[in-house]
């Protein structure tokens, strides 16, 4: 750190604010160590002695900056008049923090500037801190509406939408394709992407046969309200879910309302013949398994929850602790080859395949997730999804149902893989139109369900139901 006075001379050097330093440290951990911000934030705040209102400030600063990084980078690049890659990464993080304070927090402009320059000086030296001052002043001098117009006005509409909504360009393309829009800057494409910039509220699931939404609402008092989409879901408007008695004892769990809805729809599809043995092929950590066990129990069926990883199977057990051991069994194994084991082939009446996926439908939950995802991972995921689908076909009886779910709207892991399955495997698609009369904008043209944060207030969950021929 430099000992020299800040050269503009308008105030003396002073120690940078701990909340901002802590936020910067988290950004650095995310960038350098691939850390998850939500996992390292609490320890980092403790290390810097940041608590109470300062901790809330640091949290908002960290998450907001990570989320809006793409937009801030567009402004920084234009204001620094040099490519971003020529900026020191730590300095770039400082600039991003400054942008968030200037543009999206209720921090007075002079404080946003001065405090950010203090941080720059403390973690680098005088020279770079002058650059921070100059760049942030340039950003501040232009009105937010003018910045938006400037970015939207560029000829490359995919890049413009990516920058305005703060997403990688490949995600813009994926969302446009999933919505069936022809242009990258179509109103709904921008709305869908912008919805990822609004943090999701905590949602609880009232687990069937253990409690009801009405009971959960009563328990929460003025801290809860009924959520959209699923009949089991409750939004926690305030408070800590870990302190809710129903969550502590397993009658309820923290779960997105879209996840609840697709599980509810799948279990409500009528089935000819027996309906006693249900399988959750990829069950960890067990949110859907807990709903499935409840629904199964209410019709006299039993759930088998399968999971590849032992430690995740333990989480399933934790999620099912409020049910009786007769209602479920948990097994550890590979869902792709489960039918090779004694008695598993064609044994199940319903199989839920909640497949490992890109998670593009839950970007609003993890502020930095969109920057970490790589489109090259999709090919590997698609191969796994396909092999799990084949595994599910082997486990379900003729006439039985498979519910294929992803937390993603990306076509390669939703409608494309399902149409390939219908073409190549002994499966027919069940049209879900009768199940979604109250939610017609959730139905895809091929009769599947695709939820969206901007339409339904849930994660972008996908459900296709397939019947084995
Ligand atoms: C999307 S998550 C399932 C979420 C879960 N249904 C819930 O609601 O809590 C996918 C799960 O599949 C598991 N998995 C991955 N490969 C698998 C395989 N070959 N067989 C079984 N499970 C697998 C992962 O470990 C992960 O727990």
Which tokens belong to 346?
Answer: 């064609």
- Burial letters 303-339, b for 16+ CB under 10 A, else e: bbbbbbeeeebbbbeebbebbeeebbebebeebbebb
Instruction: Look at ligand 1, atom 12, and give the residue with the nearest C-alpha.
Output: 282
pLDDT at 3: 34
Quick one: pLDDT band at residue 228, thresholds 50, 70, 90? confident
Checking if the pLDDT of 126 tops 90, the result is no
User: How many angstroms separate the first and last alpha carbons of the chain?
Assistant: 70
Cα 420 to Cα 142, 426, 427: the distances in Å are 51, 11, 10
Region 18-144: CATH code? 1.10.940.10
- For residue 70, report the distance from its CA to the centre of ligand 1, in Å: 31
Which tokens belong to 349?
Answer: 């009446």
Q: Which CATH architecture has domain 202-254?
A: 2-Layer Sandwich (3.30)
Tell me if 46 CB under 6 Å of ligand 1.
no
Q: Is 33 annotated as a binding residue?
A: no
Give the domain ranges of the chain: 18-144, 158-195, 202-254, 257-468
pLDDT at 175: 98
More confident residue, 7 or 394: 394
The atom number, within ligand 1, closest to the CA of 338 reads 20
The residue whose CB lies within 8 Å of the most ligand 1 atoms, and thus the one to mutate among 282, 318, 332, is 282
User: Residues 411-430: pLDDT tens digits?
Assistant: 999 999 999 999 999 999 99
More confident residue, 222 or 27: 27
357 carries an active-site annotation: no
Q: Could you give the CA distance from residue 302 to residue 33 in angstroms, rounded to a whole number?
A: 43
Q: Is 438 annotated as a binding residue?
A: no
Top-tier CATH class for 257-468:
alpha beta
Task: Fill in the DSSP letter of residue 405.
Answer: E
Distance of CA 322 to the CA centre of its chain: 27
Cβ-count burial of 31 within 10 angstroms (0-12 exposed, 13-18 middle, 19+ buried)?
middle
- For residue 97, report the distance from its CA to the centre of ligand 1, in Å: 36
What stretch of H or E contains 379?
helix 377-395
Cβ-count burial of 40 within 10 angstroms (0-12 exposed, 13-18 middle, 19+ buried)?
middle
pLDDT at 1: 31
Quick one: pLDDT band at residue 13, thresholds 50, 70, 90? low
The residues, any chain, with a CB within 8 Å of residue 136's CB and separated by 6 or more, are: 95, 98, 99, 102, 112, 113, 116, 117
Asked whether this chain's domains 18-144 and 202-254 adopt the same fold, the reply is: no
- Burial letters 74-98, b for 16+ CB under 10 A, else e: bbbbbbbeeeeeebeebbbbbbbbb
Place of tokens 């400054």: 98
Residue from 99, 203, 357, 407 carrying the catalytic annotation: 407
Q: How many CB atoms neighbour CB 424 within 10 A? A: 11
The residue whose CB lies within 8 Å of the most ligand 1 atoms, and thus the one to mutate among 256, 281, 284, 359, is 284
């Amino acid at each position: 750190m430099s000992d020299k006075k800040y050269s503009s001379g308008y105030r003396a050097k002073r120690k940078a604010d701990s909340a901002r330093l802590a936020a910067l440290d988290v950004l650095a951990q995310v960038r350098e160590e691939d850390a998850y911000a939500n996992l390292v934030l609490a320890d980092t705040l403790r290390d810097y002695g940041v608590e109470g209102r300062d901790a809330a400030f640091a949290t908002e600063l960290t998450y907001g900056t990570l989320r809006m990084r793409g937009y801030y980078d567009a402004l920084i690049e234009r204001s620094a008049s040099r490519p971003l890659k020529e900026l020191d990464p730590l300095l770039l993080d400082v600039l991003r923090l400054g942008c968030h304070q200037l543009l999206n927090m209720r921090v007075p402009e002079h404080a946003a500037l001065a405090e950010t320059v203090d941080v720059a000086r403390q973690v680098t030296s005088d020279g770079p801190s002058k650059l921070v001052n100059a760049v942030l002043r340039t950003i501040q001098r232009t009105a937010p509406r003018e910045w938006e117009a400037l970015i939207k006005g560029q000829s490359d509409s995919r890049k413009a939408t990516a920058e305005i909504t703060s997403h990688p360009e490949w995600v813009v393309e994926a969302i446009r394709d999933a919505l069936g829009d022809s242009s990258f800057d179509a109103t709904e494409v921008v709305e869908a992407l912008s919805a990822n910039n609004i943090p999701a509220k905590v949602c609880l699931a009232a687990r069937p046969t253990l409690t009801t939404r009405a009971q959960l609402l009563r328990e929460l008092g003025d801290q809860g309200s009924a959520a959209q989409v699923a009949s089991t879901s409750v939004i926690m408007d305030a408070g800590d879910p870990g302190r809710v008695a129903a969550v502590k004892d397993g009658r309820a769990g923290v779960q997105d309302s879209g996840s609840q809805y697709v599980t509810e729809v799948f279990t409500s599809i009528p089935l000819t013949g027996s309906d006693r043995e249900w399988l959750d092929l990829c069950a960890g950590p067990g949110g859907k398994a807990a709903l499935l066990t409840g629904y199964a129990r209410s019709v006299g069926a039993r759930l088998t929850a399968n999971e590849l990883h032992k430690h995740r199977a333990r989480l399933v057990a934790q999620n099912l602790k409020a049910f009786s051991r007769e209602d479920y069994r948990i097994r550890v194994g590979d869902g792709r080859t489960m039918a090779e084991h004694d008695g598993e082939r064609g044994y199940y009446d319903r199989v839920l395949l909640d497949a490992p996926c890109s998670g593009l439908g839950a970007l609003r939950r993890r502020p930095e997730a969109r920057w970490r995802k790589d489109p090259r991972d999709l090919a590997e995921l698609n191969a796994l999804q396909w092999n799990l689908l084949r595994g599910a076909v082997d486990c379900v009886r003729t006439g039985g149902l498979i519910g294929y779910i992803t937390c993603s709207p990306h076509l390669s892991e939703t409608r494309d893989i399902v149409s390939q399955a219908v073409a190549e495997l002994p499966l027919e698609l069940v049209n879900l139109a009768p199940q979604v009369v109250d939610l017609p904008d959730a139905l895809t043209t091929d009769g599947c369900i695709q939820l969206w944060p901007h339409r339904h207030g849930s994660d972008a969950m996908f459900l296709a139901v397939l019947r084995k021929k």
